[in-house]
């Protein structure tokens, strides 16, 4: 939250999301990342988010992170794919929380199947 503007709003409740979920896990995994790696990830995500108005977190990094800016996340989670995916989702959430524009997020389906990660939409403040 910055001033009176909330950076993430829940679509279903229209209420602001002001706390990072699973913050203990985020903190634990972030300790395994170099500051430069975390900064590079944040910068890359901001570049992605600046390029469009709709983003589904799990679709951003692709399946193979080796050789990408996201590879250190995989290593920070001891090469555990499930934990790396969760940590990536938390980083995405945190980056949206820290932005100066307002986004809404929720879970959706595609072809009748639930999408495993959050989808974010750029919105005008709807509060």
Q: Is the dihedral of CA 92, 98, 100, 101 positive or negative?
A: positive
- In-domain check, residue 9: no
- In-domain check, residue 107: yes
Q: Check residue 13 and give its pLDDT.
A: 80
- In-domain check, residue 1: no
DSSP-derived secondary structure letter, 66:
T
Q: Which residues of the chain have pLDDT under 50?
A: 1-3
- In-domain check, residue 10: no
How many structural domains is the chain composed of? 1
Tell me the CA distances in angstroms from 8 to 32, 79, 82, 124, one per residue in order. Answer: 26, 30, 24, 11
Structural domain harbouring 46: 23-122
Q: Check residue 2 and give its pLDDT.
A: 47
- In-domain check, residue 127: no
- In-domain check, residue 3: no
- In-domain check, residue 13: no
- Cα(2)–Cα(20) distance, rounded to whole angstroms? 15
- Cα(37)–Cα(61) distance, rounded to whole angstroms? 15
Structure tokens at 89: 């989702």
- In-domain check, residue 80: yes
């Amino acid at each position: 939250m910055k001033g009176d503007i909330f950076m993430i709003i829940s679509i279903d409740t229209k209420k602001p999301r002001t706390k990072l979920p699973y913050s203990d896990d985020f903190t634990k995994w972030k300790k395994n990342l170099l500051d430069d790696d975390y900064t590079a990830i944040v910068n890359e995500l901001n570049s992605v988010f600046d390029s469009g108005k709709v983003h589904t977190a799990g679709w951003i990094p692709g399946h193979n992170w080796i050789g990408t800016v996201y590879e250190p996340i995989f290593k920070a989670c001891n090469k555990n794919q499930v934990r790396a995916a969760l940590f990536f989702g938390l980083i995405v959430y945190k980056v949206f929380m820290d932005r100066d524009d307002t986004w809404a997020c929720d879970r959706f389906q595609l072809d009748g199947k639930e999408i495993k990660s959050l989808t974010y939409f750029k919105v005008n403040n709807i509060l």
